[in-house]
A and B are shown apart, each in its own frame.
Chain A
Amino acid sequence: MKKVMFSVILIGTIIISGVIGYSNQDGLADKKGDFGSAILSFNILDK
């Protein structure tokens, strides 16, 4: 179940990884969206 975080205060670095076990134990969410294949975005500046 998607967890809604009602308030997030971003001061410095908040460690979220330790509290997201609910999401998927393997860290694998099979969403069908995609953000491209570029490994390093700077590789393709101005292309």
Chain B
Amino acid sequence: MESLDIAGHLDNWSVSIQLDKKEAARSIYEELNKHTDDYDAETLVTYLLLESRYYAIQRDFQESKHSLVKAREYDGNFTELQKYQLFFAEGIIYYFEKQYQDALVCLEKAEKYVSPSMEPAKIGEFHLIKAMVYYFLDITTLSAVHAARAVENFKSLEPLNFLLARTELVQGMNYLDMSDYELAEEHLHRALSTCKRIENQSLLASTNLNLGLLYVTRGLPATAIRYLEDALAGKQERIELNVLYLLADSYWKTNQATKAKQAYSEGFQKSLDNDDTKMKWEFAMLHKKYEDRHNFESVWQEGIDYFQKVNDKFNVRLFSKELAQYYTDSKQYELATKYYLLALI
């Protein structure tokens, strides 16, 4: 293959990957992969960084990381932009693996190479991903700062509706964390309108889940159910267990026990099938809260022990606070103190 052909193939590959055309991308990959021995170092770095993205769009994160490891062998030849691409790609992979602290470390490295000469859309996307990572690290203020910077870069670009809707979601969820429900509602409904307009089913399901979460948090389970049922109808496997959990909770709160038990059974069984121990405990604890009250204390204590063991501090805080309130109400002050302390970790 002539060098011009390689460059042309790499360009076509990049476009196929960006447009999520997996079949076209696979066909070009198979062609390019036969000639890697002929590439000079610069071409090889470009190839490996694209290969990482190629595997990422197929959700094969292990291979995606492997490509980045191979690219790192040539990091002496990296341009500034390639250094940015490497760290940003690592950050995104860690985000989807829910390793948020590692994702943040990579994004901080990438940020050193963010330059004003980059396209506003790319700068905006960087800040959006960083805002998403901060949200899951429970650092609301910095998530809000980066979401605002993302909006600044997106607002003048008409075709970036998807990115704007995704940013609206982050802003809405940050306002929810800050208990500013009116602004949370405003942002989430704006995202919902955009998702419907651009017919993005995946983001639409996520938006319905987030609206359901907002109304559950506000103590409006009947309203939450409408959005959670829509989220479930979106058939997005990634969020299905979270939707079923919130749905079961909302059905129980609105005295629809049959539907609640159905949602609980489906969620509990799927968490067993997926070997998702964390969600299994969450479903079990939810069930004991509403149905099997005489086992409530023991199962919640065991569940909190499990969350402590796996260092899931978010759930330790969440469930300990509720259990402590239960012990306070039943005048078991020693146990109440124990769980209030755990809620503070």
Contacts and interface: CB of A to CB of B under 8 A. Distances in A.
B312 A28 contact: yes
Identify the interface centre among A16, A31, A33: most chain B CB within 10 Å of its CB.
A33
Main SS at interface, chain B: helix
Contact of B92 (A15, A39, A44): A39
Given A39-B92, A41-B162, A46-B198, A30 B135 contact: no
Contact of A39 (B19, B57, B176, B345): B57
Contacts of B265: none
A32 B246 contact: yes
Interface residues of B, number: 69
Interface in B177-235: 177, 198-200, 202-203, 206, 209-210, 213
A44 B239 contact: no
Nearest to B163: A41
A25 B311 contact: yes
A5 B141 contact: yes
Contacts of A10: 145
B101 A27 contact: yes
B44 interface: no
Interface in A1-47: 1-5, 8, 10, 13, 15-17, 20, 23-47
Contacts of B345: 1
B314 interface: yes
15 contacts: A1-B317, A5-B141, A8-B145, A17-B108, A20-B101, A23-B313, A27-B101, A29-B136, A29-B137, A31-B136, A38-B162, A40-B92, A41-B125, A41-B166, A42-B125
Top 5 A-B pairs ranked by shortest CB distance? Answer: A27-B101, A43-B20, A36-B203, A34-B206, A27-B100
